[in-house]
């Protein structure tokens, strides 16, 4: 396993600082002045409660020499710019993950007790979030603390529709955001999380899935969740849905293949302790016109029939055929059918039934069909009810896991 390399300049800075209790790292380029000002403000807000802890705020600076700001501001916190890993600008999530790994690596070098990784938009850089993350790791002895965002029911649909239920069914941890912008890790987990697994490295798809690593390599380490009241603004301009969907699902399928021996032994899921107060008053959102999504699904089913036939069993194809004939009001993809579709795609990804680029591209119309079905269903529910509906949806994935196990172990067995 390869770890992210630390440049000589950054090493010198690390040596100058020596050690830290809490490392707060930003996984993206930010304005050093803004970061410094907000760090000072946070330290003031945290006050005497953390006076015994030494904080280090780290951020990727494209030119460390130019950004070589004073390393130590005062006795309680220090600023640490580091050289960002070389990345392709096209792969947004890969860039975030690489910076997260760099921060974790720095925290390991500083022998930090807690490493808090935050998104580049600095939305979670506030005293409350940092306090909650530190509380989960230091006070409640969690190895990993994952955030729960106050998302509206039409937000983060790739996460709700695929990533979260799949991760939960596979690794048995009920985590709402397995691929989060922000999270905190204990000192012991920093170094393992900073490493890139060989399988992900060779696939060129090295996203960081902290929950997967914790569940497979440290099954005894507790994982917690904290409610942080922030919403990240992802710049969607220039990002194509099929490309992002392909990158995210491709990465989770890759991890699934690499960790097959672990998740095949896991049955059911365990509740994750959660701290902080979730926002109760989420806007319910207006009704959505799902017709364009439905049209994309129908176009896909008309044109990609020959591709889907290579990936999906006859039963699922029959179900999809039935859906194409349903009226818009009746259109609903059952939870177990959607789960089995994603499982079949994961299996085809592993077996390379068709080119992986084609396989991930062929998932997009199906995903849009699921989105159409989901938004219609939750449009009349408030946020709390939608969350309950999600719980039911995720349970269906767990109940369908024996199907995945059977297909994974005996892919050539007759499957109607």
Partner 1 sequence: MWQQVEQSLHLSMGRVMNQIATLLPGILAFIVAFLFFLLVGWLLSLLVTRILSALRFDERMGRGAHAMAEWSPRATPSLLVGRIVFWCFVIAGVVVGGSALGTSEHIVSGWMLGYVPRVVGAAILLLAGNVLARFVSRSVLITGVNLNLSYARLLSMGVRWMILVLTGAMVLDHLALGGAIVELGFGILFGGIVFALSLAVGLGSRDLVSRSLEREAARPVEVAQPEKIHHF
Binding site for partner 1 (CB under 8 A): 154-159, 198-199, 202-204, 234, 236, 239-242, 244-245, 248, 285-286, 288, 293, 295-296, 299-300, 302-304, 307, 352-358, 361-362, 364-365, 371, 375
Q: How far is CA 332 from CA 90, 113, 152, in A?
A: 34, 48, 21
Task: Between 110 and 341, name the residue whose CB sits nearer to partner 1.
Answer: 341
- Nearest approach in angstroms of CB 141 to partner 1 is 32
Helices (H), 230-334: 241-258, 260-263, 291-303, 305-311, 314-325
> In this structure, what are the phi and psi dihedrals at residue 48, rounded to the nearest 5 degrees?
-70, -15
Q: For residue 114, which of 185, 178, 164 has the smallest C-alpha distance?
A: 185
- Cα atoms found within 13 Å of the Cα of residue 340, Cβ hemisphere only: 21
Task: Between 106 and 200, name the residue whose CB sits nearer to partner 1.
Answer: 200
- Nearest approach in angstroms of CB 401 to partner 1 is 25
- Nearest approach in angstroms of CB 155 to partner 1 is 5
Task: Between 29 and 199, name the residue whose CB sits nearer to partner 1.
Answer: 199
- Cα atoms found within 13 Å of the Cα of residue 169, Cβ hemisphere only: 29
Task: Between 259 and 293, name the residue whose CB sits nearer to partner 1.
Answer: 293
Task: Between 273 and 361, name the residue whose CB sits nearer to partner 1.
Answer: 361
Query: In whole angstroms, what is the distance from residue 121 CA to residue 34 CA?
Result: 11
- Nearest approach in angstroms of CB 356 to partner 1 is 7
Task: Between 111 and 410, name the residue whose CB sits nearer to partner 1.
Answer: 410
- Nearest approach in angstroms of CB 296 to partner 1 is 6
Residue 80, SS3?
strand
> In this structure, what are the phi and psi dihedrals at residue 25, rounded to the nearest 5 degrees?
-115, 145
**DSSP E strand boundaries for 113-197:** 114-118, 144-148, 183-186, 195-196
- Nearest approach in angstroms of CB 346 to partner 1 is 16
β-pairing, 114-118 with 22-26? parallel
Task: Between 69 and 157, name the residue whose CB sits nearer to partner 1.
Answer: 157
Residue 4, SS3?
coil
- Nearest approach in angstroms of CB 163 to partner 1 is 10
β-pairing, 183-186 with 195-196? unpaired
């Amino acid at each position: 396993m390869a770890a992210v390399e630390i440049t000589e300049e950054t090493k010198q800075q690390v040596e100058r600082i020596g050690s830290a209790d809490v490392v707060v790292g930003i996984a993206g380029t930010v304005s050093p002045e803004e970061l410094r000002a907000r760090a000072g403000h946070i330290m003031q807000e945290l006050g005497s409660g953390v006076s015994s802890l030494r904080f280090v705020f780290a951020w990727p600076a494209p030119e460390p020499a130019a950004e070589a700001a004073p390393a130590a501001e005062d006795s309680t916190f220090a600023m640490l710019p580091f050289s960002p890993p070389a990345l392709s600008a096209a792969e947004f999530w890969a860039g975030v993950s690489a910076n997260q790994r760099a921060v974790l690596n720095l925290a390991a070098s500083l022998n930090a007790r807690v490493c808090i990784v935050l998104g580049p938009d600095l939305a979670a850089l506030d005293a409350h979030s940092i306090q909650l993350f530190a509380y989960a790791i230091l006070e409640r002895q969690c190895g990993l603390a994952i955030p729960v965002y106050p998302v509206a029911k039409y937000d983060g649909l790739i996460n709700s529709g695929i990533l979260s239920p799949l991760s939960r069914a596979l690794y048995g941890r009920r985590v709402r955001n397995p691929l989060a912008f922000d999270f905190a890790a204990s000192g012991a987990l920093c170094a393992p999380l900073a490493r890139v697994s060989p399988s992900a490295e060779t696939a060129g798809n090295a996203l960081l899935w902290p929950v997967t690593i914790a569940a497979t390599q440290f099954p005894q380490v507790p994982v917690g969740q904290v409610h942080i009241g922030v919403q990240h603004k992802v710049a969607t301009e220039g990002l194509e849905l099929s490309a992002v969907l392909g990158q995210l699902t491709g990465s989770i399928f890759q991890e699934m293949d690499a960790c097959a021996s672990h998740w095949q032994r896991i049955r059911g899921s365990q509740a994750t302790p959660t701290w902080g107060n979730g926002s109760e008053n989420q806007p319910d959102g207006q009704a959505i016109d799902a017709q364009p999504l439905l049209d994309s699904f129908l176009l896909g089913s008309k044109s990609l029939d020959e591709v889907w036939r290579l990936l999906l069993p006859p039963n699922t194809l029959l179900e999809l055929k039935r859906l194409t004939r349903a009226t818009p009001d009746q259109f609903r993809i059952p939870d177990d059918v959607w789960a089995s579709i994603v499982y079949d795609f994961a299996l085809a990804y592993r077996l390379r039934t068709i080119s992986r680029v084609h396989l991930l591209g062929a998932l997009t119309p199906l995903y849009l069909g699921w989105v159409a079905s989901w938004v219609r269903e939750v449009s009349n529910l408030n946020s709390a009810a939608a969350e309950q509906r999600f719980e039911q949806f995720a349970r269906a994935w767990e109940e369908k896991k024996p199907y995945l196990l059977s297909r994974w172990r005996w892919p050539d067995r007759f499957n109607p």
